[in-house]
Amino acid sequence: MKKTIKVLIIDDSALVRQTLSDILNSDPEIEVVGCAADPIIAAERMRTVVPDVITLDVEMPRMDGLTFLQKLMSQHPIPVVMCSSLAECGSETTLKALEYGAVDIITKPKMGTKQFIEESKMRICDAVKGAAAARLGPLRSMRTMKEVAPKYTADVIMEKPNTKAMIQTTEKVVVVGASTGGTEALKVFLEMLPEDTPGIVIVQHMPENFTAAFAKRLDSICRVTVKEAQDNDTLVRGRALIAPGNHHALLKRSGARYYVEIKDGPLVSRHRPSVDVLFRSAARYAGKNAVGVIMTGMGDDGARGMKEMHDSGAITIAQDEASCVVYGMPHEAVKLGGVNKIMPLQNIAAEVLRLCS
């Protein structure tokens, strides 16, 4: 039998612990091996059972999540998924946890429509599987996780591009997709870019309300302007737009002006926003004037869209395995034959600039 992913849940809410347990135990590849109301209790539990993944609340009695995370990563690194509420004031704190070594963010489960509950369940289980596959050190190896239906393609948002109908222009645009490990990868990439970099649109798999805080944090440390994308935002040099959580972002064009369309729709490749949707729109409206980059992440979102970009004449780049936290999305794009160049994270910014010059 295939080995299950052992999960320890740390949260001071009994209701959240029970709900998370029910959600995670419903997936045959995951097993909840313990729950703890705070990190002190969790540390005692870990003396007998060492989990593969920990879900960790931020605010708890006796020891907060950030302090525990720092101690854990310095003494016994284990993949951690932060479990946070959607409160705006908590977004910055949770993003800080990603800098301290957490692999991903999930929002605390809550009641809603049947579709909302199913999507939330999918997101939580996928985050845990992605964390289990993450490389925290040279000895951690990637696990192959089975995906479950339904799984839509970008067809539900936009038709495939007609490469013969491309409008010619000299202005370059850059589109980037990332997931697990992408928050740090995007920071490295964007910090290397100068103020006159061509316009960039980014999809980073992240819950709603966190993308605005993430963009604000990047904006404070980068020479390019970084903001959460709003519908009809224009792509201009020196600006990077990050797709808002829970909404698809499409690159569009009107004459010589590139802009973004923000829209609702079903999960595509199990995500909203979806990299496949962004890349398909770039294939249609930018064609050979686009540069596509796919970074670290679990699953295959972006692989089909990158192939469509490649076929439309765009130059496409995949982050290499050695520099990825999870070599899932780039690997799938390479397997489909949609990647022109494979390179370390540290080299991608310079290559993008060279291709856009």
With residues binned 3-state (H G I as helix, E B as strand, rest as coil), the percentages for the chain, rounded to 5, are 35, 20, 40
Active-site residue, 301 included:
yes
122 shares a domain with 165 = no
Bridge partners (DSSP) of residue 178 are 204
pLDDT at 166: 47
- 94-103, 140-149, 191-200, 322-331, range with the lowest pLDDT: 140-149
pLDDT at 119: 83
301 shares a domain with 236 = yes
- Nearest residue to 185 via CA among 66, 53, 68, 318: 318
- 53-57, 87-91, 124-128, 314-318, range with the lowest pLDDT: 87-91
pLDDT at 155: 73
Active-site residue, 357 included:
no
For residues 244 and 205, is the Cβ–Cβ distance under 8 A? no
Task: Please give the average per-residue pLDDT across 270-275, as a whole number.
Answer: 96
pLDDT of residue 349 exceeding 60, the answer is yes
pLDDT-derived band at 156, boundaries 50, 70, 90: low
Query: Of 205, 271, 310, 331, which residue is the catalytic one?
Result: 205
pLDDT of residue 44 exceeding 90, the answer is yes
**Beta pairing class for 341-343 and 315-319:** parallel
pLDDT at 99: 87
Q: Is 266 helix (H, G, I), strand (E, B) or coil?
A: coil
User: Which tens digit of pLDDT belongs to each residue from 217-248?
Assistant: 999 999 999 999 999 999 999 999 999 999 99
pLDDT-derived band at 144, boundaries 50, 70, 90: very low
Query: Of 11, 276, 300, 301, which residue is the catalytic one?
Result: 301
198 shares a domain with 109 = no
Residue bearing tokens 């904006």: 219
Structurally, the chain folds into a number of domains equal to: 2
Active-site residue, 248 included:
no
**Does the residue 176 lie in any domain?**
yes
201 shares a domain with 318 = yes
pLDDT at 94: 83
241 shares a domain with 193 = yes
pLDDT of residue 148 exceeding 50, the answer is no
116 shares a domain with 208 = no
Mean pLDDT of the chain: 89
User: Which tens digit of pLDDT belongs to each residue from 202-213?
Assistant: 999 998 889 999
**Does the residue 144 lie in any domain?**
no
**Does the residue 142 lie in any domain?**
no
Q: What is the CATH number of the domain that holds 62?
A: 3.40.50.2300
User: Which tens digit of pLDDT belongs to each residue from 287-309?
Assistant: 999 999 999 999 999 999 999 99
Task: Please give the average per-residue pLDDT across 54-81, as a whole number.
Answer: 91
86 shares a domain with 172 = no
Query: Of 84, 85, 120, 179, which residue is the catalytic one?
Result: 179
For residues 56 and 82, is the Cβ–Cβ distance under 8 A? yes
pLDDT of residue 46 exceeding 50, the answer is yes
Determine the structural domain holding residue 51 and report its residue range: 5-133
Which of the listed residues 68, 100, 133 is the one where a domain comes to its end?
133
Which of the listed residues 118, 133, 148 is the one where a domain comes to its end?
133
- 34-43, 71-80, 133-142, 275-284, range with the lowest pLDDT: 133-142
Between residues 180 and 140, which one has the greater pLDDT? 180
The CA–CA distances, whole Å, from 51 to 4, 30, 77, 120 equal 11, 11, 11, 22
217 shares a domain with 328 = yes
pLDDT-derived band at 113, boundaries 50, 70, 90: low
